[in-house]
Amino acid sequence: MNTSFQEAVLNMVKQIPRGKVTTYGEIGREITGSVRAARAVAQAVARNPYPIIIPCHRVVRSDGNVGGYCSGIEKKIKLLRAEGVEIKGRKVVKFKQTLFDFKK
């Protein structure tokens, strides 16, 4: 994987505030102009060397499903809930309202 791409992804992830989430596709769109980069973003997030400092648990799938996490899905859900993100099953409740907008 391109190191500068991974750095760009992790820099985007650092911008997501507590209590908000974004999608792999949105990060891809911000970096490349296309949501088609979502898989590459997911790979870069999975290689995050500092998963709490760089809050990759705040990146979810475009359907609101929490997706994967290096320490397991239950840990990701626990971290999101601790930040005030409501989760039901494995989905973010009020997904659209919880999405972070990089443009604001």
103 part of a folded domain:
no
Q: Which of 37, 56, 80, 99 is catalytic?
A: 56
Per the structure, how many domains does the chain have?
Answer: 1
52 part of a folded domain:
yes
pTM: 0.94
Helix (H, G, I), strand (E, B) or coil at 88: strand
Nearest to 11 by CA among 35, 29, 33, 27: 27
Residue 87: which H helix or E strand, with range?
Answer: strand 87-88
Domain membership of residue 57 as a residue range: 3-98
CATH number of the domain enclosing 35:
1.10.10.10
37 part of a folded domain:
yes
104 part of a folded domain:
no
Catalytic site includes residue 56: yes
Q: pLDDT digits over 26-84, tens only?
A: 999 999 999 999 999 999 999 999 987 999 999 999 999 999 999 999 999 999 999 99
